[in-house]
Structure 1
Amino acid sequence: MLERDAILAQLPERLHQLLDRHGREHAASPALYEGDITLSYGELRLAVDLLQAQLLMDGVRAGDRVMLVAENCRLLVAALLALSRLDAWAVVVNARLSASELNTIEQHCTPRRVLFASAASGSAARHAQRVGAQPRDVAHLGGFHIGALNSTCLIEPVEQDSAAQVAVMIYTTGTTGEPKGVMLTHRNLLYIACTASRLRHLRRDDRVYAVLPISHVFGLTAVCLASLFSGAALQLQGRFDAEELARALAEDGVTLMQGVPAMFARLLEFADQQGIELRAPRLRFLYAGGSPLDMSLKETVEQRFGVPLHNGYGLTESSPTVSQTRIDAPRRDTSVGRPIPGLEILLLDNARHSAVARGEVGELWVRGPNVMKGYYRAARQTAQVLTADGWLNTGDLARQDDEGALFIVGRSKELIIRSGFNVYPPEVEAVLNAYPGVVLSAVVGRPVAGNEEVVAFVQVADAARFDVQALTAHLAEHLSPYKRPSHVRVLSTLPCAASGKVLKHQLKAMSLDL
């Protein structure tokens, strides 16, 4: 693993040392754009100094957990780095979660303090008001609120080894069940920051559109930390808005845009509804991840922008990247590319407990410097997915072609077995998404006596004019009988997490009422 060792040799020990990679000559260069405010790398460094001092005055200690309730903003970026300096854990939580969801996370991780990015997020401000949080103000970062001191908070051991010291804890979105606190170490995150920077050919003159939530590991590592690693500028956007994205691509000099497929689908829908041409004069890299990418969306995006739409795959537990297509070798299919440098993979047949043959579908296991430390206060759940020698069971089904590229077939828990045949939801969703008027789709299994049915949910551009019977005929033309949905339900919007990922467990519950 010479390539892995070469990457590890480049990594700093802690997240905050990313700023140390860029000398005085880069201090005046833009680091963060947030609305009308721009912070240079020098100003960001000063802001981190000041916030670290404020957190110390507010009683934060090494080994504490500090919840950051925020949407993308300069305060959130600075807080990640300031907490790294203190050897405290950042528990990053999207402010758009409900009060009960926040309470569940807080009760589980028992933070020393809860910081609310109230000036940048109306949702965070409402949460701060609800708990009676106190106002604070730090130069270059503006106002925020901080919750009461938890005097009963027990500190965690501080590890000098970056591979052992937790930097950030992210609670999974709960798309398949109860959320768990994923402990990600400094080495986990920095390994992906470096790898993402290299594979995307990030440069100091790049301007990266950062709309993926930093509270989600995709936005945290592959967008935010990778940009800081390379010295690029982040254009922070609190929430996805198709009109704002179209404007930014046309006017702001954005060079890189990374998102989930749903964002690209909604951007195209906006452009078609408004009858506008999408322009992006400086754009050089587009990337989709976080959920399956279907071929029709990929081809349309590439045709509109004139650049390849790259694809990749990962999960929170692997910080997140497992594989991605290479910038100098774009693909004409929906492969998620080859594994990233330094990562080992296995595709296993669980029934035989052995590796599958090349080209066959197996459950994907991965091992490398980016694999999580474990789930917080959940040793049993950790042992269910992580072996003693570092192999992580992703729970996803995949196959690998002769060139080593991976194709994600679906989640093992989402596999539908209909009349003895395997139905992989992404395959059905790709056919649904190719039909005119369908913006998004999601397929789930519905248990019936002795069998499972395929149920499809679709979000369409014009529900009043949408012809479900015509869609059913389209499915019959392109799918084998056992793959065809027994029910197709049109929704105004599909339920999604803040990251843009469709919440299939909610749809599965809805399917039981059909």
Structure 2
Amino acid sequence: MQRVHELVAQAAQDKPEGLAFINGDDRRISWGAFQSAVEDARDDLVRFGVGPGDRVVIVLENAIEVAAFYFAASHLDAAAVMVNARMSRPELDRIVAHSDPSAVMFATDVSASAAAHAEAFGATPCTGRYGAVALWAREGSVAEPVFESGEEQVALLLYTSGTTGHPKAAMLTHANMIAAGRASADVRGMREGDMTFLALPMSHIFGLVTVHAISLAQGSARLESVFDVARLYTALQEDVTLLPAVPQMHAHLFHYARAHDMPRYDRGLLRYVSSGGAPLDPVWKREAEEFYGQTLQNGYGLTESAAGICATRNAMGDPDTSVGEAMLGATIHIDLDAPGATPAEGIGEILVGGPQIMKGYFRDPEQTAATLTEEGLLRTGDLGRFDDQGRLHIAGRTKELIIRSGFNVYPVEVEAVLTEHPDVIIAGVVGRPVEGNEEVLAFVKAVPGSGLTEDALKDFLRARLTPYKRPERIIVADDLPAAPTGKILKAKLIETFQDRLG
């Protein structure tokens, strides 16, 4: 296979009546009907000016129509740009400007946020066998080169927000996404008849690669536009066999189930449960396994590696909290000469290779050269070590990335928005571990006499940042710990203001 849409074509040929997806509104579609939906989406993209080498921004929450337009872009050799509909307008504008698309699709029928963006853009309502969306044509887009090989042709742009505070989009090829889907299907043991509960957003690599795995396995998925614990609880009783999630989803389920007199899951359908996007706490892991009666598997990956680098395949009761061994096709190296390395303990920067590794960053050769070695290895910026069984353990980060509820938050991006406030002189943002997650903390130096408050800054951020990027606490101070150069000493922020943080 050279293109991702061939996965759908194969499933439609092999299992035309087989169930493909169930929307959050309980609409169902077979693989044969989904192939027709993809064809309708393709035709509408052509009507709105999309051609080979173009980009299509898809403003989404999980739905059948979103998957249809993603695969439709592949038909046209255009790259899909998957964007969370809950982004603020300034965030979306930056991505549209940077990705230079020829069209933007809004999943209006499943997302009030997407509908609001569509109205602001003046998008045109469209319907087809995919459902209902809105499309907006953009003039002046410059097409990228098109390649016959799936190893060269870009299928997807996913934004990581970048440590510079400016948009940075990983270019993932068709070969990357197909390889990542195979690795995901392999580690989960996906098979015909499996039903996956997918509340992980398709604007995140974890969620989108899962869609590829489902297509390869010709299984089925419940595409949830928003996470609803009651829907998960019900679905687990009905048909769900695979549950990939982030810790917060699992925790909500435990509390909900207990409130409904179900101390543990005992339906017997579930056979694979995983947790990703956040460090795995040993106590919490035991709690999860007691609830599900299944091993909670862990893993590690990045947007730039099309998600999966490694994953566990542990037996029930194994206390292991590593992120496991290399997944199908991936290779893992530890650079003991990297900044932050501790060679005596075997800790160094994690470098990864294999067919999942991105082509580079979109129209950003400098960032590409800084992230990919001459041998094509990806510098993850994370520190790790191998144990005596060859399993990878994450030791820390060489960069300041915060992972909140499974989403990446880059401090510089939040700092840049904070300093847009006229009463903020400088800002520092750091993460702090909390149970099964990380929280975002912000510290700002205010203009003397301004009377700036935490509540005022939170109101300021509400229209400018996606909810998961907004700080849990904002400490407003007359001064922040800094080096002689004026650079904020981030390592001292929490310690300095501990009495105010609690």
Q: Shorter chain as normaliser: what TM range?
A: 0.7 to 0.9
CA RMSD of aligned residues (A): 3.2
Judge conservation of contact 2:243–2:274 (CA < 8 Å) in 1: yes
Higher mean alpha-carbon deviation, 406-415 vs 111-120, is at: 406-415
| Alignment partner, residue 339 of structure 1 | 326
What letter is aligned with 1:43? A
Following superposition of structure 1 onto structure 2, how do residues 104-503 of structure 1 map, counting pairs within 5 Å?
104-139=94-129, 141-147=130-136, 149-172=137-160, 177-221=165-209, 223-250=210-237, 252-273=238-259, 275-279=261-265, 280-326=267-313, 331-350=318-337, 356=343, 360-414=346-400, 429=433, 433=435, 440-442=437-439
Aligned partners of 2:102 and 2:114: how far apart in 1? 18
Aligned partners of 1:391 and 1:64: how far apart in 2? 27
> How far is the alpha carbon of 1:341 from its aligned partner?
2.9
Q: Deviations over 1:403-422 (max 9, x none)?
A: 11001122122499xxxxxx
Aligned partners of 1:330 and 1:228: how far apart in 2? 31
SS, match of residue 183 in structure 1: strand
| Alignment partner, residue 36 of structure 2 | 46
Task: Check 1:103–1:373 CA distance in 2 against 1; reply closer, same or farther (3 A cut).
Answer: same
| Alignment partner, residue 4 of structure 2 | 15
Judge conservation of contact 2:88–2:466 (CA < 8 Å) in 1: no
TM-score (norm 2): 0.79
Task: Check 1:326–1:62 CA distance in 2 against 1; reply closer, same or farther (3 A cut).
Answer: same
> How far is the alpha carbon of 1:329 from its aligned partner?
8.2
- 5+ residue gaps, structure 2, are 403-429, 445-464, 476-489
Q: Deviations over 1:353-405 (max 9, x none)?
A: 99946x62211111111111111121111111111220111011111011110
Aligned partners of 2:223 and 2:87: how far apart in 1? 19
Q: Deviations over 1:122-170 (max 9, x none)?
A: 110011011111111112x2211011x2221011000111111100101
Aligned partners of 2:318 and 2:8: how far apart in 1? 34
Judge conservation of contact 1:318–1:370 (CA < 8 Å) in 2: yes
Aligned partners of 2:68 and 2:28: how far apart in 1? 13
| Alignment partner, residue 449 of structure 2 | none
| Alignment partner, residue 486 of structure 1 | none
Judge conservation of contact 1:265–1:440 (CA < 8 Å) in 2: no
Judge conservation of contact 1:175–1:503 (CA < 8 Å) in 2: no
Q: Deviations over 1:76-121 (max 9, x none)?
A: 1111111101000100001011111100101111110110010111
Task: Check 1:353–1:294 CA distance in 2 against 1; reply closer, same or farther (3 A cut).
Answer: closer
> How far is the alpha carbon of 1:266 from its aligned partner?
2.5
> How far is the alpha carbon of 1:443 from its aligned partner?
8.3
> How far is the alpha carbon of 1:247 from its aligned partner?
1.9
Task: Check 1:330–1:55 CA distance in 2 against 1; reply closer, same or farther (3 A cut).
Answer: farther
| Alignment partner, residue 459 of structure 1 | none
Task: Check 1:257–1:121 CA distance in 2 against 1; reply closer, same or farther (3 A cut).
Answer: same
Answer yes or no: is 1:32 the counterpart of 2:21: yes
Of all paired residues, the percent bearing the same amino acid is 37
Match of 2:78 among 68, 80, 88: 88
What letter is aligned with 2:143? I
SS, match of residue 355 in structure 2: coil
> How far is the alpha carbon of 1:271 from its aligned partner?
3.4
SS, match of residue 28 in structure 2: strand
Aligned partners of 1:503 and 1:13: how far apart in 2? 42
Aligned partners of 1:260 and 1:502: how far apart in 2? 19
Aligned partners of 1:56 and 1:65: how far apart in 2? 12
What letter is aligned with 1:144? V
What letter is aligned with 1:15? V
Judge conservation of contact 2:340–2:398 (CA < 8 Å) in 1: no
Aligned partners of 1:502 and 1:199: how far apart in 2? 34
Task: Check 1:192–1:218 CA distance in 2 against 1; reply closer, same or farther (3 A cut).
Answer: same
Judge conservation of contact 1:28–1:42 (CA < 8 Å) in 2: yes
SS, match of residue 97 in structure 1: coil
Aligned partners of 1:124 and 1:352: how far apart in 2? 42
- 5+ residue gaps, structure 1, are 1-11, 417-424, 434-438, 448-495
Aligned partners of 1:42 and 1:118: how far apart in 2? 24
Task: Check 1:22–1:40 CA distance in 2 against 1; reply closer, same or farther (3 A cut).
Answer: same
> How far is the alpha carbon of 1:52 from its aligned partner?
1.0
Paired positions, count: 435
TM-score (norm 1): 0.78
> How far is the alpha carbon of 1:278 from its aligned partner?
4.5
Task: Check 1:112–1:268 CA distance in 2 against 1; reply closer, same or farther (3 A cut).
Answer: same
Aligned partners of 1:375 and 1:343: how far apart in 2? 20
